[in-house]
A = this chain, B = another copy of it.
Amino acid sequence: MFSKACEYGIKATLFIALQSLQDQRVNLKDIAKEINSPVAFTAKILQQLAKNNIVDSVKGPTGGFQIEKKRIDKIRLSEIVSAIDGDAIYKGCGLGLKECNANKPCPLHNKFAIIRDDLKEMLEGTSLYELATGLEVGLTFLKR
């Protein structure tokens, strides 16, 4: 469904959000440990997230990653997914046709569009905040 990079990206962003809610900045090593991901690869993904203004990065000692508190309930999962995986998952044809729409649909078009649109709405309707709170109270988990 999502690429590995995107999975790491979502998990990393959620952990950063969780820590930012408690005014804590977190560094690469701690993020990778928390989400059980390869450190160097995670660094690349965090760079992408920073470039896309999804997270803020600070260099130097005591540096790391954070998200402005005010923005945590504004940022949607969809932003992370399109920053890393692009929007093929929202717009693309289930059978990979370049051109596939109501006018010239693939055999799966109608049935697939429903699922795809539900996924899109789910991602667009889900904020970092609501997912981070589940982590905060120990109801949900980022590894295992």
Contact = CB atoms under 8 A, between A and B. Distances in A.
Nearest 4 CB-CB pairings of A with B: A107-B131, A7-B96, A107-B140, A99-B144
Interface of A: 1-2, 4, 7, 10-11, 14, 77, 89, 92, 94-100, 104-109, 111-112, 114-116, 118-119, 122, 126, 131-132, 134-135, 139-144
A139 to B, nearest CB: 8
Nearest to A130: B107
Number of copies: 2
Contacts of A134: 107
Contact of A106 (B95, B104, B140): B140
B11 A95 contact: yes
Contacts of A105: 139-141
Nearest to A126: B111
A118 to B, nearest CB: 6
